[in-house]
Amino acid sequence: MISCCLRLFLMLLIAGMWTAPRAAANDDAGSIFIEGYTSQLSYQPGEKVAFHLSSSEPQYTVAITRLGPENKTVFKETRKNGAAYPVPENASSHGCQWPVAFELTVPDSWQSGYYNVRLSVADRGGKFIQRNSRTAESNLFFIVRAKKPGSQTKILIQLSTNTYNAYNNWGGSSLYSYHGRANLQGHRVSFNRPLAGQFANWELPFIIWAESNGYQLDYIANSDLEFHPELLQHYRLVLSVGHDEYWSAPMRDHLEQFISQGGNVAFFSGNSVCWQVRSEDDGRALTCWKQGYNQDPLFPDGDHRLLSTLWSHHLVNRPENQLTGVGFLYGGYHKSHGQFMDGSGAYKVHRPAHWVFEKTSIKQGDEFGGKDSIVGYECDGCQFEMKEGLPVPTFKDGTPRTFEILASCPAKWAPGDSLWYDRFEKDRVGAAILGMYTNGGTVFTVGSTDWAHGLRGKDPVVQQVTKNILDRLSK
């Protein structure tokens, strides 16, 4: 999260979801390519998806597949209007500005979900070809929202699309310094450029398990919480899965209102709601100055509530604990970034009688999830003290008064992370905290990015706890 996220970078590189920033098309003599993006992140049936593409070849193929337990291809077409366009110098911050190649109206029959778009071209000969034809492929995505929200399910999953963009360095820089152009960290990232994302690592395993077990989900993007808050009234349970790191103030405002009115939220995620961002260009760009908060144009004004830095920074004074129950400030890394590399990757249970653990037969002090390292990468926790052998929140860090710690696992910040705050003690050991509070509605959190890996590995306790949450909080 805060130090160079090398593990995530290597993971995306191996998975083919990260590529070095491409030069302008005119500098790509001899190569073949096709890339693109859509005009929005999510659409309802009946709306038109606009595809902005750049291709070295006039003929290209588009295949659209809904990803889930069964990958279902719903559209495939070969077109002949491909054209190459330059990549602007400020593509990462202000987009590519490529024209629309074609539009497609989302049919009513398309189920809400994550739709992968595979673009492919073939070089059929020419001065650069020695023997066989070469091919090139790339992927983009869009989300289909429900045509009638909440009519088929009361569970809504909002995908971590802001985080996808924050880590995307295509065309220049991301919001991180370790893989941007000349290792420069950007403070603005545009959605109007190719974007693959992190969907496959966390959200997809969760979705495959959920839909395979009879749970129907409706899907939205992070930004839909900001720009379409009216959707929330149709659901009982909102899900955050995996690495849901970047949130705007309107996103928080709308979800907190949903909770206050009796709605439920489950954070099967870690490092959640860590950085405050501001949406720009009608949601097609994000601004976040992060550790350079004093360079944010809002800084001199004195009103720092919307400062684009850590939510838990004292100038913002709105720690994520107030929403999620936990935060990165009292969490850290486990089996990542050099911290607890020999750790168990498991939660230790403190309060087995809680309904969350029903039908698990688990006992106090038992551990679960270690086989799949469900506590891993980035973790969230809260300040607590031990009373009669059990952890109890101090409630000094913004954690709600009704929050109960059900399980935990040690976690720690990496060296130098404390430099990102100007009021933080160094070398403190925290914990990934699994817990729950009720304030109008109920909010559950696992405090770890890697919970879904336990579902992928079919861990019986992880599966049962997830079922208990989905069954009770969606009704």
Query: Could you tell me what percentage of the chain is helix, strand and coil, using 3-state DSSP and rounding each to the nearest 5?
Result: 20, 30, 45
Which positions ≥6 away from 233 have C-beta within 8 Å? none
- Report yes or no on 422 lying in a domain: no
- Give me the pLDDT at residue 415, please: 79
pLDDT digits (tens, 9 = 90+) for 402-414: 999 999 999 998 8
108 within a domain of the structure (yes/no): yes
In a domain, 252, yes or no: no
In a domain, 87, yes or no: yes
Label each residue of 426-448 as H, E or C.
Answer: CCCEEEEEEEEEEECEEEEECCE
Q: What is the pLDDT of residue 423?
A: 59
106 Cβ partners below 8 Å, 6+ apart? 43, 44, 45, 46, 47, 48, 49, 144
Residue with tokens 């950007």: 186
Q: What is the pLDDT of residues 305-326, one digit of tens each?
A: 999 999 999 999 999 999 999 9
Average pLDDT of span 360-370: 98
Structure confidence at residue 196 (pLDDT): 84
Q: Is the pLDDT confidence value at 21 over 50?
A: no
Q: What angle in degrees, to the nearest 10, is found between the helix axes of 460-473 and 203-212?
A: 70
In a domain, 88, yes or no: yes
State the DSSP code for 339.
B
Report the alpha-carbon distance of residue 44 to residue 282 in Å, rounded: 18
State the average pLDDT for the chain.
91
Which domain CATH number covers 68? 2.60.40
How many Å is the Cα radius of gyration of the chain?
A: 22
Q: For residue 215, tell me if it sits in a domain.
A: no
Q: Exposed (0-12), middle (13-18) or buried (19+): which is 176, by Cβ within 10 Å?
A: buried
| Residues spanned by the domain of 126 | 34-143
Residue 171 within any structural domain of the chain: no
Enter the pTM of the model: 0.92
353 within some domain: no
Percent of the chain exceeding pLDDT 90 equals 84
- How many domains does the chain divide into? 1
Q: In the predicted model, is pLDDT for residue 250 greater than 60?
A: yes
The predicted pLDDT at position 17 comes to 40
